């Protein structure tokens, strides 16, 4: 599916309802990672019905064990899609016998994409169609934005992330994909985090207390960049594959299990509980600076 307006063109895949490309119409400049399989073959997977890893890939619900891989299964399923206009598309995934083997809940997951001027908006909707049972879930975004090196005249290290409301980042260290007890503190200068490949050698930067709700990806050589905005996602991750020229900006409603977690789904940190017949929604968006 292709969405287009006078400023932007977005390409979307029915598999995982994944954003695959975001280009500027003026010159075809690509703002999304190219999914080079040498590093990471995805571009913007949706994380559902969990974010991060479960302890032993297992959780318990009503006394029974269930197993899910890291980040859940939605990213690997084909969604039903419908293009509503040149600038808007919607994708839907519903529970099946297959999903219920690992996740015993009725659900409807809807992703809506819309181009508005220089901005792409992505809205997550979770519906609980059950007449009497709650729906426990987590959900998160994982868009990977290209960090252009342009023939090595512009280096990865020439780029930065700017956090207008933070001068320090408190990052929870992962232990075997789980949240450990140690927290690293990264002090920012001028609210900026300079990007280096080494930042992500120990996996993602995972934060529970980030205050900024608008993050700028920019560089020191020109005025090209993006502004990434989100609301009401309590957790945030930043990640890149080792040596790859991209950075993922990841707002989450949910988080990996702690190493000390008891694996009970209803007691999982960040778990969302949606009452029968209710709908839940969150949105993130990315705007081009130039």
Mean pLDDT, residues 50-69 taken together = 97
State yes or no: pLDDT of 146 exceeds 70.
Answer: yes
Mean pLDDT, residues 28-42 taken together = 96
Q: Domains in the chain, please, with CATH?
A: 2-288 (2.70.98.10)
Tens digits of per-residue pLDDT, 194-239?
999 999 999 999 999 999 999 999 998 888 899 999 999 999 999 9
Tokens of 48: 């559902």
Mean pLDDT, residues 130-149 taken together = 96
Rounded to whole angstroms, the Cα distance separating 53 from 25 reads 38
State yes or no: pLDDT of 268 exceeds 90.
Answer: yes
- Which residues make Cβ contacts (< 8 Å) with residue 136, sequence separation at least 6? 49, 61, 105, 265, 266, 268, 271, 272, 273, 274
In DSSP terms, 214 is beta-bridged to 229
CA 7 from centroid of its chain's CA atoms: 24
What's the DSSP call for residue 257? P
State yes or no: pLDDT of 282 exceeds 70.
Answer: yes
Rounded to whole angstroms, the Cα distance separating 236 from 214 reads 12
Q: What is the pLDDT of residue 221?
A: 83
pTM for the model: 0.96
State yes or no: pLDDT of 152 exceeds 80.
Answer: no
CA 17 from centroid of its chain's CA atoms: 13
- Which residues make Cβ contacts (< 8 Å) with residue 118, sequence separation at least 6? 7, 8, 287, 288
C-alpha count within 13 angstroms, C-beta hemisphere, residue 116: 8
Residue burial 210-224, b: 16+ Cβ < 10 Å; e: rest: bebbebbbbbeeeeb
**DSSP sequence for 36-86:** -TTT---SS--BBS-SSPPGGGEEEETTEEEE--TTBSGGGSBPEEEEEET
Rounded to whole angstroms, the Cα distance separating 140 from 124 reads 9
CB 283 within 8 A of CB 121: yes
State yes or no: pLDDT of 188 exceeds 90.
Answer: yes
Q: Pick from 85, 110, 105, 80: which is nearest to 95 by CA? A: 105
Q: Pick from 250, 217, 253, 204: which is nearest to 232 by CA? A: 253
Q: What is the pLDDT of residue 223?
A: 82
pLDDT band at 179 (very low <50, low <70, confident <90, very high): very high
Q: What is the pLDDT of residue 148?
A: 84
Q: What is the pLDDT of residue 279?
A: 98
State yes or no: pLDDT of 151 exceeds 70.
Answer: no
150 three-state secondary structure: helix
State yes or no: pLDDT of 120 exceeds 90.
Answer: yes
């Amino acid at each position: 599916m292709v969405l287009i307006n006078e400023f932007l063109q977005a390409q979307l895949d029915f598999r995982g309802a994944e954003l695959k490309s975001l280009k500027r119409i003026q010159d075809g400049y690509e703002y999304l990672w190219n999914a080079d399989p040498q590093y990471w073959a995805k571009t913007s997977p949706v994380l559902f019905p969990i974010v991060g890893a479960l302890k032993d890939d297992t959780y318990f619900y009503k006394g029974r064990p269930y197993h899910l891989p890291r980040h859940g299964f939605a990213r690997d399923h084909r969604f039903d899609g419908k293009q509503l206009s040149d600038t808007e598309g919607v994708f839907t995934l519903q529970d099946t016998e297959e999903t219920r083997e690992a996740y015993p809940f009725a659900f409807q997951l809807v992703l809506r994409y819309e181009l508005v001027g220089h901005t792409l908006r992505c809205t997550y909707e979770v519906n609980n169609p059950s007449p009497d049972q709650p729906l426990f879930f987590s959900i998160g975004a994982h868009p990977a934005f290209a960090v252009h090196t342009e023939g090595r005249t512009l280096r990865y290290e020439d780029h930065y992330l700017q956090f207008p409301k933070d001068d320090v980042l408190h990052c929870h260290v992962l232990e075997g994909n789980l949240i450990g007890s140690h927290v690293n503190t990264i002090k920012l200068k001028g609210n900026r985090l300079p990007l280096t490949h080494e930042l992500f050698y120990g996996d993602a930067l995972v934060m529970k207390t980030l205050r900024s709700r608008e993050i700028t990806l920019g560089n020191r050589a020109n005025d090209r960049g993006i502004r990434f905005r989100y609301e009401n996602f309590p957790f945030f991750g930043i990640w890149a594959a080792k040596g790859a020229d991209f950075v993922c900006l990841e707002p989450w409603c949910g988080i990996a299990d702690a190493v000390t977690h008891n694996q009970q789904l209803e007691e999982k940190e960040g778990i969302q509980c949606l009452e029968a017949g209710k709908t839940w929604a969150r949105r993130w968006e990315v705007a081009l600076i130039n």
